[in-house]
Amino acid sequence: MMRLKIGLLMVGLLVAGVASAEVCTTQSQMTGGEREALVTAARGLAAKVQAGDVAGLRAATAAEYAKDFGGIGEVVSSTAAHVKGGTLKVEQVYVLDGTELKRAADGSVPDAQFFCSLNKTSAEADFIISGLAPGRYGFAMMDVPDGAAPWRLSFLLRQDQGQWVMAGFYPKPLMAAGHDGLWYWTQARLMTAQKEHWNAWLYYQQAESLLRPANFIQSTHLEKLKAEETAAAPPALSEGVSAESPLVVKGPDGVEYRFTALGVDDSLGNDKVDITAHLKLEQVGDAATAKKHNLDAMTALLTAYPELRKPFHGVWMIAEAPGQNPFATEEAMSQIH
């Protein structure tokens, strides 16, 4: 089965609309003591992740998030296997001052937006966080370049009674199939120039996944990448692909296949990433029937868009039907005819 995507957002921290901007302080604007306190706290959290110390991490988490810590244990364990014994390198730290956030009459809080100008240039890193309680926060990115593979451990911290505690954890790999995000971005541009729009669109997705530290972060560079991705999208995806607007492909067998999502996956650790496709069905059926249907859908997709065969290892097909468990299979390109 595909590995669980672990871009974890802890309770209530999702991208949404924004209210008035709060105050951001980048590391170059911090006092030495301010930066050192934030770095020390983040390094301590990262060390607990490396050690697989779930209990210690929970004890260092803000109380309202520590109450429901169920899913975090699995994430910490799976992440620890990748970063154990690696050197922790501080990539970036920010202070996000949301002390002036005001709760509404019903107790809810507006979405917080922090604009962070980088090195007094026009470049920005922006944080848009929904449901953020008033307070003083920090965001720290800790890279582990020499683990089993390069990873980044990012933390949202909150200052409680003068101490930095964890309010969110966002681990992710920095490479896929042996290449980093900038490599995929460069390849996507080359593919666009060669009119390989399907390949380019998927490589842009891989680049964005590797380069974005957390879902609620935007930046000048990521906006540029996203604009290029949108411009490179094939005409068939001009309105996107979703359950409401599926990509409909007719196979050599005359059957229509409805795809509700397309993406990329590196769970098998091959020399190339896989395509992922979600297939909408009325019934999944038994295992043998579902496997054949998945293979037929792969054939239909590659027959319609043969350029996809070249830069990918294979295809993950995830068949989904209402009220049933998804059925996922993976085949190498050489096995899809």
The pLDDT, as a whole number, for residue 181 is 98
Tell me whether residue 44 is in a domain: yes
What is the domain extent for residue 261? 247-335
pLDDT for 21 equals 59
Token representation of residue 326: 């998804």
Residue 38 shares a structural domain with residue 69: yes
pLDDT at site 131: 86
Instruction: Based on the fold, state whether residues 27 and 157 are members of the same structural domain.
Output: yes
Rg (CA), the chain: 22
Tell me the per-residue pLDDT of 39-67, one tens digit each, with 9 for 90 and over: 999 999 999 999 999 999 999 999 998 98
Structural domain includes residue 2: no
Tell whether 65 and 131 lie within a shared domain: yes
In a domain, 279, yes or no: yes
What does the pLDDT look like over 249-275, one tens digit per residue?
999 989 999 999 999 999 999 999 999
Q: Note whether 102 and 169 are same-domain residues.
A: yes
The answer to whether the pTM exceeds 0.85 is yes
Boundary residue ending a domain (146, 173, 200): 173
pLDDT value at position 8?
A: 35
92 CB burial (10 A radius; 0-12, 13-18, 19+): middle
In total, how many domains does the chain have?
Answer: 3
Whether the CB-CB separation of 279 and 319 falls below 8 Å is answered with yes
Per-residue exposure over 244-257, b if at least 16 CB sit within 10 Å of its own CB, e if not = eebbebebeeeeeb
**Which residues does the chain have with pLDDT short of 50?**
1-20
pLDDT tens by residue, 187-202: 999 999 999 999 999 9
What token pair was written down for 148? Answer: 């089993």
Q: Give the domain-ending residue among 188, 207, 237.
A: 237
| Parallel, antiparallel or unpaired: strands 89-98 and 135-144 | antiparallel
Kindly report the three-state secondary structure assignment for every residue of the chain: CCCCCCCCCCCCCCCCCCCCEEEEEEHHHCCHHHHHHHHHHHHHHHHHHHCCCHHHHHHCECHHHHCCCHHHHHHHHHHHHHHCCCCCEEEEEEEEEECCCCCCCCCCCCCEEEEEECCCCCCEEEEEECCCCCEEEEEEEEEECCCCCCEEEEEEEEEECCEEEEEEEEEEECEECCEEHHHHHHHHHHHHHCCCHHHHHHHHHHHHHHHCCCCCEEEHHHHHHHHHHHHHCCHHHCCCCCCCCCEEEECCCCCEEEEEEEEEECCCCCCCCEEEEEEECCCCCCHHHHHHHHHHHHHHHHHHCHHHHCCCCEEEEEEECCCCCCEEEEEEHHHCC
CATH no. for residue 169? 3.10.450
- For residue 161, count CB atoms less than 10 angstroms from its CB and return exposed for 0-12, middle for 13-18, buried for 19 or more: exposed
For the stretch 21-59, what's the b/e string if a residue is b when 16 or more beta carbons lie within 10 angstroms of its beta carbon? ebebbbbeebeeeebebbbebbbebbbbbbebbbebbbe
Does 62 share its domain with 162? yes
Residue 204: name the closest of 228, 223, 220 by CA: 228
Angle between helices 197-211 and 220-232 (to 10 degrees): 160
6 in a domain, yes or no? no
Whether 166 and 27 map to the same domain: the answer is yes
Contact by Cβ (8 Å): 214, 6: no
* Residue-level pLDDT at 159: 97
Are 200 and 60 in a shared domain? no
- Answer yes or no: do 150 and 221 share one domain: no
pLDDT at residue 239 in the model:
83
